[in-house]
Structure 1
Amino acid sequence: MSKASSVTQSHTAQNRPPGPSLATLLKLVVARRRETYAVIPEVSRRYGDVVDLPVPGRDNPPVTLVSHPDHVDHILVRHHHRYVKGESYQELTDGQPLSLAFLEGEDWRQVRRPLNPHFTEQALERITPKLTSGVTARVDAWAKYADTADWIDLEHELGTVVLDGLMRAVFGVIMATGELDSYVRSARDFSRYAANRSMMHDLPAFLPRPFQRRGQAGLAAVHVDLERFIAQRRADGSGAEPDLLDTLLEMSFDECPHLQQARLLSEVSGMIFAGFETTTEAIAWTLALMLSNPSTLERAYKEVDSIGGAPIGYANVGRLSYLKACFDEGQRIQSSMANMRTAIEDDEIGGYFIPKGSRVLFSAYGIHRDPRFWNEPDKFEPNRFLTDKINRNAYLPFNAGPRKCIGFRLANMEALSTLAVILQRYTFQLREGWEPRHRMRIITSLAGGLPVQIRTR
């Protein structure tokens, strides 16, 4: 790489300092095999905020790790037009038509623009009763487990809770218990496979991708259900208040009928995957951490009790400031291991030259644990979100900039509703010796689920 090859960079731009060799990086991965998420922060600590990473394969473009909030702001906010998600993200679709999360430029704007009105505060207030009805129904169903000796995987159960609320609120669909269970399992099978596809993007195509058969079967099962819901809506028409599904049905993707249906299916499934699994895992991490911290849990119970036994709604969720801090802190601890963008023009980050075509990596997990930006970063301390001054670019649960998650308000509302409904009704006993550990799917999940016994309050 030569500074002279850039026509847009300043004369002071320089090449990155040497990073770890491939052998050194592999040794670090092996040493950290039970805590894989810690590898990227360790590389940053040893080599600095801007450093090249070794990439197997002669023809693969370089990867540069950046680890400062200012650099993330550069990529996602101030100069977002210089970066795209790139091919490794497209691996997550397994060859399906690209949906909103993977589109770029005008294609992205054409899809996002008509969807925006469904994610405003006004829209959220309107759909909250439907959302909470699904959440409450599923949480009330846990009564069959309560006060027994049964150990329940609460992570799975939370998936059905969040999915029920989401499907009712956003798509006007009420699913049976068996359908919800099956959908959650199928979606997670695909998520595990897709995450492996993305991680193996730089490796030869002939190498088998783990969980492929099971993952593809899971996606096919999800699509069968969604095609049924779409057909039913087309037959019945929209209700008094058109919802997100109606808007998607009205979109024209300028393709032949078969491809139009495939694209519609991709958009609907993309919305559901993004909506239910991200929120589910964030809630699961929050509950796991609260259950592991009795004083935090006690304070959360008291706050929920302060609103009485009234149904959880849009208005009283706003009174749960400590519970919101718990959720924010849960997401900080949970984190994503890595996000990547591809430079579509020459650039400069932190004084270092970033050539067109190279890939830039940042780790929310690493930045969320950087003691330069967080006091006692390894500690679960929700109160920091009530008292500390948080660097907005050091907290990235929904990313930032124009491509910030469209559903962040909905995710916060459903998470707080779910947590509040749960705490109104139950207490929990964690399995002895269990502690939350990171497991990578598309979304960071809990290794081994969340094993609990449920007790009625």
Structure 2
Amino acid sequence: MRSIDTDSVAPAVPKPPVPRLPPRLPIHKAALLGLSCLGDPTRLPYLLLPKIANRYGDIVRLFTGPTPALTLTLINHPDYVDHVFTRHHDRYVKHEATIELVSGEPVALPLLEGREWKRVRSAFNPYFGERALAQATPLMMEGITERVDAWSRHVHSGELVDLEHELGAVVMDGLMRSMFKVRLRPAEIDHAVDGARRYGVYVISRVAMHFLPRWLPNPLRRSGEEAKAELFGILDRFVQERAGCPSTGTPDLVDTLLALEFDGCPQIRERRRRSEAAGLVFAGFETTAAALAWTIALLCRNPIALGKAYAEVDALGGKTLAYDDLENLKYLRACFDEAQRFQAAPANVRTAIEDDEVGGYFIPRGSQVIITQYALQRDPRFWNEPERFNPDRFLTDKINRNTFLPFSIGPRKCMGTRMAYIEGTLVLGAILQRYAFQIRDGWTPMHRVRVSTGLAGGLPARLFAR
């Protein structure tokens, strides 16, 4: 288990005696930095903000607009992350652009604020505690085992397989069984994964276009809306089936969802429940599946780490993995963490709801504060040899919790963090028990903007039986 030391990092820039404006990024230099990233525009969000952070320091005013809403400040130090996300989290809310994630649907838990967020989260919290997750793990492993065993068909064919898609199907199956007690047919799982991914790309495009005129066309709109209809159709079906046939055993997550009271007419309440179900699926599926794809991709490029991962799994003797095995899979969890460090989200945005002072610098009410996990999680001040894939750092190093943010931090930290670690570790273990990999020649991992950071072009590989 990794230890965390919140005092072992370099201090932030010294505080001035009175609040002042953060240093401002010159517009012409911002343009030059942007142009330097255009050789690969798909990676622009992962390159531009880190370049600015690395060149201009721990806090920099990116843009000062005619209104506070268009004033953007980039922070790049764990002390400032702690201020905004933990110690004074009540001074900030999620940026309104993130509401685009729901694409016309009622806002769900990941995007709620205030009393409604507390009410819904309190209702769901018991199902993400350790006891409930331990009880749900056998159902999760049923789905994982069936899907991973089915990969044997790719061994026999020798064909290149997109492991990113296959991992999405494994995670989706395990999640639907353990969270919603729903067993979907393999074709339905594949359909749901494709739909969720297409919808995810679409909603991210909506976020990117948030500040542009609404009349501008979005080329992804048709595909995205079709994907949303398909995915929501699946969710509607199992929620309505449960509503018509309540469970008779111990109440589960779907029972709680159906029992929650929401304002509005019956149609609005039904849409709200569907949005909550969709929020749980997106939060539980895409984050874990994308992180697993990065984990296998980076392990395949680091044979020593891969050998250690195989050895840890082999020590368990080939049995079907269970919740109790997690304590003996610490290196696999470290691999999962190290891959998430490389994966990283490009940015996390908060809106100040009152005037504030961060590190002695003035943050006006209504302005936007941005952190870039991609820069923080590779900053050599806080990480030893940050460009080297080294899972052992999560077993031996003292890691500042405000520099590693795969599930955010503070009161708004992802409710499903522990579930993601359980499923991610068990999926990785089940795969390594059965298969070896050969990544396509010339392939290198590149970031792809989705709801979670995916791999550009998927993960093309051949599978071999062990």
With the length of structure 1 as denominator, give the TM-score of the two structures: 0.96
Which of 174, 177, 182 is matched with 2:183 structurally?
A: 174
SS in 2 for 1:386: helix
2:409 aligns with 400
User: How far is 1:381 from its partner?
Assistant: 0.6
1:418 aligns with 427
Unaligned ranges ≥5, structure 1: 1-8
- Contact 2:65–2:71 (CA under 8 A) maintained in structure 1: no
Q: Does 1:313 align with 2:322?
A: yes
Whole-angstrom distance in 2 between the partners of 1:177 and 1:427: 23
1:197 aligns with 206
Q: Which amino acid aligns with 1:130?
A: L
2:20 aligns with 14
SS in 1 for 2:398: coil
- Bigger drift between 229-238 and 278-287 goes to 229-238
Q: Count the aligned residue pairs.
A: 448
Q: Which amino acid aligns with 2:206?
A: R
Where do 1:10-409 residues align within 5 Å?
12-21=18-27, 23-33=28-38, 34=40, 35-36=43-44, 37-54=46-63, 60-409=69-418
Whole-angstrom distance in 2 between the partners of 1:57 and 1:346: 17
Whole-angstrom distance in 2 between the partners of 1:109 and 1:10: 36
User: How far is 1:393 from its partner?
Assistant: 0.6
SS in 1 for 2:357: strand
Q: Summarize deviations over 1:267-301 as a string: whole Å, max 9, x none.
A: 00110011101100000000100011111101100
SS in 1 for 2:293: helix
- Contact 2:176–2:183 (CA under 8 A) maintained in structure 1: yes
Q: Which amino acid aligns with 2:23?
A: P
1:3 aligns with none
User: How far is 1:318 from its partner?
Assistant: 1.7
- Contact 1:60–1:202 (CA under 8 A) maintained in structure 2: no
Whole-angstrom distance in 2 between the partners of 1:442 and 1:329: 20
SS in 1 for 2:20: coil
Q: Which amino acid aligns with 1:240?
A: G
User: How far is 1:11 from its partner?
Assistant: 6.7
Whole-angstrom distance in 1 between the partners of 2:31 and 2:133: 46
Q: Which amino acid aligns with 2:229?
A: A
SS in 1 for 2:369: strand
- Contact 2:286–2:452 (CA under 8 A) maintained in structure 1: yes
1:5 aligns with none
- Contact 1:147–1:456 (CA under 8 A) maintained in structure 2: no
- Contact 1:155–1:284 (CA under 8 A) maintained in structure 2: yes
Whole-angstrom distance in 1 between the partners of 2:203 and 2:257: 24
User: How far is 1:26 from its partner?
Assistant: 3.2
User: How far is 1:212 from its partner?
Assistant: 1.1
Q: Which amino acid aligns with 1:372?
A: R
SS in 2 for 1:101: helix
Whole-angstrom distance in 2 between the partners of 1:11 and 1:423: 56
- Contact 1:148–1:453 (CA under 8 A) maintained in structure 2: no
User: How far is 1:25 from its partner?
Assistant: 2.2
Whole-angstrom distance in 1 between the partners of 2:26 and 2:149: 52
- Contact 1:56–1:203 (CA under 8 A) maintained in structure 2: no
With the length of structure 2 as denominator, give the TM-score of the two structures: 0.94
User: How far is 1:27 from its partner?
Assistant: 2.8
User: How far is 1:114 from its partner?
Assistant: 1.0
User: How far is 1:239 from its partner?
Assistant: 4.3
- Bigger drift between 317-326 and 50-59 goes to 50-59
Aligned alpha-carbon RMSD (Å) = 1.5
User: How far is 1:255 from its partner?
Assistant: 1.8
Whole-angstrom distance in 2 between the partners of 1:175 and 1:49: 48
SS in 1 for 2:74: strand
Q: Sequence identity of aligned pairs in percent?
A: 48
Q: Summarize deviations over 1:298-334 as a string: whole Å, max 9, x none.
A: 1100000001111110001221111111001011000
SS in 1 for 2:391: coil
- Contact 2:69–2:368 (CA under 8 A) maintained in structure 1: no
Q: Which amino acid aligns with 1:19?
A: L
- Bigger drift between 11-20 and 245-254 goes to 11-20
Whole-angstrom distance in 1 between the partners of 2:462 and 2:346: 30
SS in 2 for 1:318: helix
User: How far is 1:421 from its partner?
Assistant: 0.3
Q: Which amino acid aligns with 1:221?
A: E
Q: Which amino acid aligns with 1:95?
A: G
Q: Summarize deviations over 1:7-53 as a string: whole Å, max 9, x none.
A: xx9970001112131x4323322312324212111101221111111
Whole-angstrom distance in 1 between the partners of 2:211 and 2:165: 32
- Contact 1:304–1:424 (CA under 8 A) maintained in structure 2: yes
Whole-angstrom distance in 2 between the partners of 1:355 and 1:151: 52
Structure 1 segments, 4+ long, off by >3 Å, are 55-60
- Bigger drift between 340-349 and 55-64 goes to 55-64
